Each structure stands twice: as structure tokens, then as C-alpha cells.
Amino acid sequence: MPSSWVHVAYAREWSTRFGARLLVLTHDTLEFEIARPITSREDAAGMAAVLARYCSDTFDTDLLDSKVEHAAYLLGARLWQFWWD
């Protein structure tokens, strides 16, 4: 799990870029509501790479087996979920 300052830095950046608002905060989970979802494939691919570094556990699921699938999910997504084991 990233350090606290990393969470804060990303939350600020995502708030500015995407209108992200923190909805859920637990010991191992963060969920953000996204007011301005990603609309281009290029931006989605770039953000998928960032999110893979931020929370690699996101890719350890049956739903999102690759960065390509995660990028496809991010297009238009209004909820971003992160969890750490």
C-alpha cells in the first residue's frame, strides 16, 4: 500500500483532472466517484498504467486481467475502486 502522502497527492490530482471525490475510505479500500470520466482511449491507457503502479492489486482479479481491459473499463467509468491485500 502506498504511503499516506501518495494517496493525498493522487487524490488532489484526480480531483483537479477528473472531479474525483472520495466516497469510501477503509483500512484497505478507497473508492472515488468520478465527475468527469475519461473519454479517450489514449487517456484511458495512460491512466491504466498509473493506476497499475498505484494499486497493483487491482489487476489480481478475474474481472481485470490486463492493463488493456482496465483501460477499457476506465472509459466512461464513474467509479474507481482500489483495494490492497
pLDDT in tens, 2-56: 899 999 999 999 999 999 999 999 988 999 999 999 999 999 999 988 888 888 7
Q: Contact at 8 Å (CB) between 31 and 80? A: yes
> What per-residue confidence (pLDDT) applies to 49?
86
Report pTM: 0.83
Average pLDDT over residues 58-63: 56
Residues across the chain: 85
> What per-residue confidence (pLDDT) applies to 69?
80
Q: How far is C-alpha 12 from the chain's CA centre?
A: 13
Q: How many folded domains does the chain comprise? A: 1
Domain housing 29: 4-83
